[in-house]
Amino acid sequence: MTDWLRALPKAELHLHIEGTLEPELMFALAERNSVTLPHDSVEAVRAAYDFEDLPSFLGLYYQGMGVLHTQDDFYDLAMAYFARAHEDGVVHVELSFDPQAHLVRGVPLEAPFEGLLAACRDAESRYAISSALIMSFLRDRDSAEALEVFEQATPWHAMIDAVGLDSAERDNPPGRFAEVFARAREMGIPGVAHAGEEGPAAYIREAWEVLEVCRIDHGVRCLEDPELVARLREARVPLTVCPLSNVKLKVTDTLAEHPLPALREAGLNVTLNSDDPAYFGGGMLDNYAACHTAFDWTRDDFIDVTRNALQAAFMAEERREALL
Ligand code: ES4
Ligand code: ZN
């Protein structure tokens, strides 16, 4: 089955490129940029990846990305990811990144934008992987800052496929970011938002109704609100579910207890994704294989979730038709 899952052309819609930073590259970039890391070996870094919840992961995630300084660093990070994605049989990737997390460290917008865009171009020619870029805002920071950063990113607006919303979800409802999502939408840039990962179903409803997002990242807690489930099903709103992430961050104790089968039985538009593969123990193929083990899904089940992703992707229509 693993070989068959690898050969299945897959689209990854929920991926934080900073979360693809493997400890080996972290050390190489720390050396290149004279950054001192709090751990003295690759093994010690990996051993620290034992999380209690989303905030306990985010601390290490923001610390880890401190080695990323130049355009070349972002390029190398993304190319290392594309090589692994290609090995996993991924043919389309939507990279989210957190510009504010870099700006606060004194890293200008040019570095992530130009580095990631160059990597996306090279992934197309080297691996025939198509890609999209999602500029995410940090929900645990001021909404005025998000607006300001979006304006500052004007030179790259034509290259942004969507805006997103991530970081610590609890007590940070999405509605505060209505203005920046509306600004983006007026310019033809759609929105996606993390909601219902650790936060309640009400945040999914708010992201959908107030931010008018076209996809929900995670969304697994929608099952707590049957009326919301019915509406998400009717509108076929894609949920970018990340099984290994949810287990690592203790959204569920084990994958066997994960609501993925229930979400699919409820008729929801579910996709499978890796989120932060360097931190959560695996890429796309590992997530697919884990679902095969935990849920005994058949080839038809995987074809179904993969088709959902291709249909929900920010992708040229000719490319979508060729892949579907
Ligand atoms: C994230 Cl797993 C997750 N949730 C929310 N924000 C994030 N940023 C990076 N990974
Ligand atoms: Zn995420």
pLDDT for 141 equals 98
> What number is the ipTM of this complex?
0.98
- Cβ within 8 Å of residue 192, ≥6 positions away: 134, 162, 163, 164, 165, 213, 214, 215, 216, 217, 240
Closest to 85 measured CA to CA, from 159, 15, 3: 15
Distance from C-alpha of 22 to C-alpha of 87, rounded to nearest angstrom: 16
Q: Is 224 a catalytic residue?
A: no
Distance from C-alpha of 226 to C-alpha of 204, rounded to nearest angstrom: 13
Give the pLDDT means over successive 10-residue stretches in the chain (324 positions).
Answer: 97 98 98 96 96 97 98 99 98 98 98 99 98 98 98 98 98 98 98 98 98 98 98 98 98 98 98 98 97 98 98 98 97
Residue 82 corresponds to which amino acid?
F
Q: Is the CB of residue 217 below 6 angstroms from any atom belonging to ligand 1?
A: no
Ligand 1 atom nearest to CA at 197? 4
Task: Specify whether the CB–CB gap between 137 and 164 falls below 8 A.
Answer: yes
Cα separation values, 15 from 19, 135, 206, Å: 8, 12, 22
Distance from C-alpha of 202 to C-alpha of 204, rounded to nearest angstrom: 5
Domains and CATH numbers, the chain: 2-313 (3.20.20.140)
Of 18, 114, 169, 197, catalytic: 197
